[in-house]
Amino acid sequence: MRLGTRLLLIVLPVVLIIMAGYGTWNLREREAALVAEARREAHVYARAVGLAFEYALRTAPRRDVRRTLNRITLNPAIFGVAIFDTAGNVLFASDLVDTTGGLARAQVRAVLDGADSLVTERTLAGQRVYAIVRSVRDARGRILGVLEVTQPLDFIGEDLRRTRQRFVANTLTLLAALTLLILLAVRRVVTIPLGRLVQDTRRLGAGDLAHRIGDRAGSGELRELGAALDGMAENHEGARGALLHETEQRLVLDQRLRESQKMAAIGNLAAGLAHEIAAPLNVIGGRAELLLRHEDEASPRRRNLQVIIQQIQRISTIVSNMLDFARRKEPRRRAVPLAGVLDGVLEFLEHELVRREVHVTRDFDDADPPVSADPDQLHQVFTNLVLNAAQAMDATDAPRRLTLRTRGRPGTDGPASGWVAIDVEDSGPGVPAEELPRLFEPFFSTKRRGTGLGLVVAKSIVEEHGGQLDVENLAPTGARFTVRLPMSASVEAVHA
C-alpha cells in the first residue's frame, strides 16, 4: 500500500469523526436556538393576539371572531388559536384546533386559578406544537377569558434537515478537497522524492557505489536520509576499494608464494641433479679430451670426440645454471653506477657480438645515477639479457642492432625513492604474443637449445634487489627488456 493511501486512511477517519462530532454539536445548538426563537415568537404572537381578542370580545360579533381566528391561522407560524371563558368553556377556536380536540384544558384551568401563563409542547394532527396559554384581562385586570396560541415546531425539523444536508454536503466536499490536497502534497513532498530515493537506493544496492543522491531526495528528513546514504555509499566504496586492493595484493602474494614454492622444489631437484650429473660429466669430458689429444687431424673419430666435448660443455652450462638457480647467494649490495656494469658486460661479450655482426648503441643517462645492488649479480642479469638479444637476432637477415639505454627518475622523497630503468632493445623478430605470459616460467624457452632458466634467474635476481623485469614487443620488429631498480640512497657519495 502506498504512503499516500496509508496517510488518507489515517487522516480521513479522524477528520470524519471530528466533523461528525462538530455537526452533532452544531445541530443541537441550532435546534436549541430555533426552539428558543419559536418560543419568543409564540409569546409575541400570543400577546398580540390577546390584545386583539380583548378588543374583539367586547365589540365584534361571534362569527367575526371565529373568522378572524381562521385568518390568523393562515400564518404558517401559527398552528391554531382558541379562546375560553372564565368557566373554562371554549368560546371560539380555529378550525384545526377545534377538529383535533387538542385543547389544553388542564392549562386553561390552571390559568383561571391564578397563573398568568403556561407553556407546553404536544402533538396535534401529527405535528409537534408549542402552546402558550395566557389570560386575557381588561383594563382593570379582571380576567375576561383565556387565550391558547399553538405554534408548529415542524419547521425546526425541516430546518435541521436542511442544515444536516448542508453539513453532509460540506463534509463530503471538505473530505474530497482534503483528499485531493493530501494526495497532491504527498505526491510532491513525499512520493516523488521518495520514489527517486528508492531508485537511487536500488542503484546503490546493485553495486553502483559511485552514484550519489545529492539533492534528488528532496528536503527535510529525506535530504538527510539521502546524505546519510551518500555517506554510507562513500564509505562502502572506500571499503570495497580497499578490499579489492587487499584481494589483489593477496592474489599477488599467493602467486608469488606458489612460484616460490615451485622454485624451491625445482631448486632442490636441480641441486640434486646437478650433484649427480656434475661428477660423471667431468669424467666423460676429461676422457674425451684425453682421447682427442691422441687422434690425428684427419681421423674421423676426432670429429665425434669434438661433438661429445661440445655437448658435455652444453650440459655443464645447464648444470651451472641449475646450481645458480638453486643456490643463489645473498646479494652484497652497494652503490653501483650502471654505466660501468653495462660496459663490463659488453666487453665480456664483445667476441660474441662481433661474431654475430651485432651493432651496439649506448644511450646512457649523463647523470649515471647509481643503484643499490650486487655488481656481480647485475653483471649476470645483463649478460643473460644481452646474449639472449644477440641470439634472437640470428633469425633475421636485417641489420642487427642492439641498444642499451638508461633512464633515471628521481623520487619525490629523496634519491632513495627514485628509480633507474635499463632498456635492452634488439631488432630481432620479437616474442610471439602467445609466449609472452610464459617467458619467465622455469624451463620454458623460445630457443631450440635454450635451458629455460636464464630469464628466470635474471628476474629472480632483479626482484631480490627490489626491482622489476618486464618485456614488450616493439613495432614493427624487435623486443625490449626493461629492468627497473631502486636508486641508491648515497647518490651524492658516489659522485663525490
User: Residue 378, CB half-sphere, CA atoms under 13 Å: how many?
Assistant: 29
Is residue 11 one of the residues assigned to a domain? yes
Cα–Cα dist 51/124, whole Å: 25
Domain residue limits at 26:
3-160
Q: How crowded is residue 50: how many other Cβ atoms within 10 Å of its Cβ?
A: 22
Contacts of 344 (CB under 8 A, 6+ apart): 379
Pairing of strands 371-373, 400-411: unpaired
Q: What is the pLDDT of residue 417?
A: 64
Sign (positive or negative) of CA dihedral 220, 222, 226, 229: positive
d(CA 142, CA 305): 177
What are the cell numbers at 180? 485531493
Q: Which H helix or E strand runs over 385? A: helix 375-392
- Cα→Cα distances 162→158, 342, 388, Å: 6, 114, 111
Q: Among candidates 329, 431, 344, which has minimal Cα distance to 374?
A: 329
- Separation between Cα atoms, residue 349 and residue 355, nearest integer Å: 10
Provide the CATH number for the domain around residue 127. 3.30.450.20
CATH of the domain at 445: 3.30.565.10
Give the Å distances, CA to CA, from 6 to 12, 13, 89, 187, 191.
10, 11, 71, 13, 12
Q: How many structural domains are present in the chain?
A: 2
Residue 419 domain flag = yes
pLDDT tens-digit map of 334-350: 888 888 899 999 998 88
Pairing of strands 400-411, 127-137: unpaired
Q: pLDDT grade, residue 494 (50/70/90)? A: very low
379, part of any domain:
yes
Q: What is the DSSP letter of 191?
A: I
User: In the predicted model, is pLDDT for residue 218 greater than 50?
Assistant: yes
- pLDDT of 483 > 90? The answer is yes
Domain contains 106:
yes
Task: Look at residue 97 in the predicted model and tell me its pLDDT.
Answer: 62
pLDDT of 96 reads 61
Is residue 226 one of the residues assigned to a domain? no
DSSP state of 487: B
Q: Taking all residues of the chain, what is their mean pLDDT, rounded to a whole number?
A: 77
Q: Is the pTM of this model over 0.75?
A: no
> Where a domain ends, among 124, 142, 160?
160
In angstroms, the CA 419 to CA 369 distance is 9
Specify if 87 maps to a domain.
Answer: yes
Reduce the DSSP state of residue 132 to 3 states and report it: strand
Q: Do the domain assignments include residue 384? A: yes
Q: What are phi and psi of 421, to 5 degrees?
A: -105, 135
Q: Examine the pLDDT at 309 and tell me if it is beyond 70.
A: yes
The end-to-end CA distance of the chain, in Å, is 83
Is the per-residue pLDDT at 55 higher than 70? no
Q: Which of 160, 179, 206 is the endpoint of a domain? A: 160
- The answer to whether the CB of 208 falls within 8 A of the CB of 221 is no
Give a yes or no: residue 298 inside a domain. Answer: no
What does the pLDDT read at residue 496? Answer: 33
Contact 109, 101 (CB under 8 A): no
Q: Are 424 and 385 in contact (CB under 8 A)?
A: yes
Instruction: Provide the 8-state DSSP code for 438.
Output: G
> Taking the CB of residue 416, how many other CB atoms lie within 10 A of it?
13
Task: List the beta strands (DSSP E) in 382-461.
Answer: 400-411, 414-426
Secondary structure letter of residue 237 according to DSSP: H
Instruction: Give the model's pLDDT for residue 411.
Output: 64
Q: Is the pLDDT of residue 172 over 70?
A: yes
| Angle of CA points 420, 424, 426, to nearest 5° | 160
Model confidence at 458: pLDDT above 80: yes
Confidence of residue 492 (pLDDT cuts 50, 70, 90): very low
Q: Is 431 in contact with 299 (CB distance < 8 Å)?
A: no
Tell me the per-residue pLDDT of 138-152, one tens digit each, with 9 for 90 and over.
Answer: 777 777 778 788 777
Is residue 414 scored above 60 in pLDDT?
Answer: no
Mean pLDDT of 190-214: 72
Last residue of a domain, one of 160, 193, 227: 160
Q: Are 101 and 148 in contact (CB under 8 A)?
A: no
- Looking at the chain, how many residues does it have? 496
The gap from C-alpha 11 to its chain's centroid, in whole angstroms, comes to 32
pLDDT at 321: 66
Residue where the block lists cell 408548529: 152
226, pLDDT greater than 60: yes
| Crossing angle between the packed helical segments 300-326 and 454-464, to the nearest 10 degrees | 30
pLDDT digits (tens, 9 = 90+) for 348-392: 888 888 888 889 998 888 777 888 888 888 888 899 899 888 888
What is the mean pLDDT of the segment spanning 310-326? 71
Q: Report angle CA 292, 294, 300 to the nearest 5 degrees.
A: 60
Radius of gyration of the chain (CA): 61
Q: What is the pLDDT of residue 59?
A: 58
* Between 379 and 323, the higher pLDDT residue: 379
CA distance linking residue 373 with residue 333, whole number of Å: 4
368: left (phi over 0), alpha (psi -120 to 50) or beta: left
Contact 34, 156 (CB under 8 A): yes
List pLDDT tens digits, range 104-130: 677 778 878 777 777 777 777 777 777
Please indicate whether residue 3 or residue 43 has the higher confidence score (pLDDT): 43
Q: Where are the alpha helices (DSSP H) in 60-94?
A: 62-72
Q: How confident is the model at residue 495 (pLDDT cuts 50, 70, 90)?
A: very low
